[in-house]
Amino acid sequence: MLLTVEDDPAVSRAIARDLRRRYNSDHRVVRSESGADALEVLRELTLRGEATALILADYRMPGMNGIDFLEQAMDIVPQAKRVLLTAYADTDAAIRAVNDVDLDHYLVKPWDPPEEQLYPVLDELLDRWARDSRLGYDGIKLLGHQWSAETQQLKEFLASNQVPYQHLRGAEADAYQRTAGVADDELPALGLSDGVVLRRPGLRELAQRLGLSTHAGSPLYDLVVIGSGPAGLGAAVYGASEGLRTLLVDKVGVGGQAARSSRIENYLGFPQGVSGAELAQRAREQAVRFDVELVTAAAAVDVVAQGEGRVVKFDDGHEVTAHAVIIATGVWWTRLPAEGAEELSGRGVYYGAVAHEAHGCKGEDVYIVGAANSAGQAALHFANYANKVIMLVRGPDLRRRMSEYLVGRIENDPRIEVRTWTEVAATEGDGRLERILLTDTRSSVTETVPASRLFVFIGAEPPTAWLGEEFARDQRGFVLTGPALLDEDGRPPRNWPLARNPYHLESSVPGVFVAGDVRAESVKRVASAVGEGAMAVTLVHRYLEAT
């Protein structure tokens, strides 16, 4: 349902006419002429099970202005997108409402023509609502134990690829399992919308069933980008927009580690912040718009120089050749060096945290290991759901590695407790996390506390073991590029075959560039990763022009 609230009958009819002309095939347009009446309409239709996708409310209405109405409507239909209709003179109030009542957008009347001033805004809001809403859901159903590492892997794959699903639990899960004839040893299983049930599927099989590309459609490309985090997405978008035939490959899904962030608040252009998943989805849509070819569930196992080509080999035996390659595989969280942590990974011990995990933490105490921005963002997000969030920090405070805006919010949140000088010595449990042993690093005193969920945000490890010896790396495995490859006299490595020195983001293999967190000495921020992706494409053009 699309609900309009406007006290002027003529304007109300005009709004409804514009909405029906565009959205009548998928949405029912309902009009109301006062805030009080509109609240009653929302209550009645919500009780009937109807989903409200979007509300447009005029700011100046007698009895209840649009901002007050939208604030009350949020309690009834929290998933609905909210738009305030204003005159030009009221834009200051509308801007305040963006922050005060989580307004999704405001529109200044009139919006003629609607094809330019109205529909693009509403299209985006309705697309976001459709991705987030599960009301009336009849798509993919996931069967699997909550504390299964395999179940967790499937959930992360579906979330990374923006594939909606419903994780069935309790009686509903038992009934579906009986109907589908799935044995306990065949879990986890996925019920697809066409009735097919996949039992313990591999990621490549699942990707193929979902219609995702798992193999490149051509043997030759101008540019192959390995890794689809912010750096890889940035490189793919810029490369394709500048005329390069571009292939973007990733072994999991779009967004990389950034997609698991519940909220990114210091990224330029998003004053209210943006979830990592939403940012990844926007970038994916942008890449598709520029005809980037996307391949998922494909793990690169080698990059080899063959003449003027660069051959990328995959774990399934396929390979493609490109004129240039950009490696943007990012980093992953360092494994927790605590006894029992590896055995309980995916069973209460998690690395990073995607937003959907928070919903399962209602009423629980959640532990977070780490003191950088990602840990702080996760703590604030989980605090909206969990009974309490306990941050475990090895050092004396949060300010050494965390941005001040996050530190201030954490310190002012009564649901978050910060335990300094503390590290995890061990994790324990029978098939799932049940207890953690905490050690005071100053006194060496250890205590045991009950715990069901431990989220780890420590360190960064580059996934570069698959690269050959010809790729120079530092002691931690980060790939060296440009000036970092030169010796004290400014000379390139002995095996460097060209007369010129390596370009700034070029690896020790000419024509293979590196962008983002996987590059040695890079700035570990989303904005800098996107910038490096764009810069790498500029250097690719310079390389191609010279060869």
Contacts of 102 (CB under 8 A, 6+ apart): 74, 82, 272
Q: Which amino acid makes up residue 369?
A: V
Between CA 378 and CA 358 the distance in angstroms is: 9
The dihedrals phi and psi of 474, each to the nearest 5 degrees, come to: -85, -175
The packing angle between helices 276-289 and 230-241, to 10°, is 20
- 398 pLDDT exceeds 80? yes
User: Distance of alpha carbon 346 from its chain centroid, rounded?
Assistant: 19
In terms of domains, do 148 and 163 share one?
yes
Sheet holding 446-450, edge to edge: 422-428, 435-440, 446-450
Query: Can you give the CATH number for the domain in which 272 is found?
Result: 3.50.50.60
Which residue would you say has higher pLDDT here, 253 or 438?
Answer: 438
In terms of domains, do 125 and 82 share one?
yes
In a domain? residue 207: no
Express each pLDDT in 493-509 by its tens digit. Answer: 888 999 999 999 999 99
Query: Which of 267-276, 303-312, 464-473 is predicted with the least confidence, judged by mean pLDDT?
Result: 267-276
In terms of domains, do 81 and 195 share one?
no
Query: Which of 87-91, 247-251, 377-381, 517-521 is predicted with the least confidence, judged by mean pLDDT?
Result: 87-91
Structure tokens at 170: 């309790």
Between CA 229 and CA 123 the distance in angstroms is: 26
Which residue would you say has higher pLDDT here, 73 or 426?
Answer: 426
- For residue 3, the cross-strand partners are 30, 55
- 13 pLDDT exceeds 80? yes
Structure tokens at 33: 């002429």
Which residue would you say has higher pLDDT here, 370 or 356?
Answer: 370
How high does pLDDT run on average in the chain? 89
- 352 pLDDT exceeds 90? no
In terms of domains, do 400 and 384 share one?
yes
Among residues 430, 456, 482, the one where a domain terminates is: 456
Structure tokens at 63: 């009895």
- Of the pLDDT bands very low, low, confident and very high (cuts 50, 70, 90), residue 355 is low
Please report the pLDDT score of residue 138 as a whole number: 61
Please report the pLDDT score of residue 544 as a whole number: 95
In terms of domains, do 389 and 321 share one?
no
Please report the pLDDT score of residue 146 as a whole number: 83
Range of 392's domain?
349-456
Query: Can you give the CATH number for the domain in which 93 is found?
Result: 3.40.50.2300
Of the chain, the percentage scoring pLDDT greater than 70 comes to 97
The pTM for the full model equals 0.74
In a domain? residue 450: yes
In a domain? residue 116: yes
In terms of domains, do 232 and 254 share one?
yes
Long-range contacts of 400-405 (CB under 8 A, 24+ apart): 400/371, 401/371, 401/372, 401/373, 402/371, 402/372, 402/373, 402/375, 402/376, 403/266, 403/373, 403/376, 405/265, 405/266
Contacts of 443 (CB under 8 A, 6+ apart): none
C-beta of residue 63 within 8 angstroms of C-beta of residue 35: yes
Query: Which of 82-86, 321-325, 339-343, 482-486 is predicted with the least confidence, judged by mean pLDDT?
Result: 82-86
Structure tokens at 231: 């750096």
Express each pLDDT in 80-128 by its tens digit. Answer: 999 988 887 677 777 777 776 678 888 888 788 889 889 999 999 999 8
Residues in the chain: 547
C-beta of residue 435 within 8 angstroms of C-beta of residue 450: yes
Please report the pLDDT score of residue 336 as a whole number: 94
Contacts of 534 (CB under 8 A, 6+ apart): 234, 235, 238
Domain count, the chain: 4
Among residues 116, 132, 148, the one where a domain terminates is: 132
- For residue 197, the cross-strand partners are 191
In terms of domains, do 512 and 448 share one?
no
In the chain, the largest separation of any two C-alpha atoms, in whole Å, equals 79
In terms of domains, do 125 and 148 share one?
no
Please report the pLDDT score of residue 406 as a whole number: 92
In terms of domains, do 324 and 229 share one?
yes
Express each pLDDT in 381-393 by its tens digit. Answer: 999 999 999 999 9
Please report the pLDDT score of residue 46 as a whole number: 67
Query: Which of 21-35, 274-288, 345-359, 422-436 is predicted with the least confidence, judged by mean pLDDT?
Result: 345-359
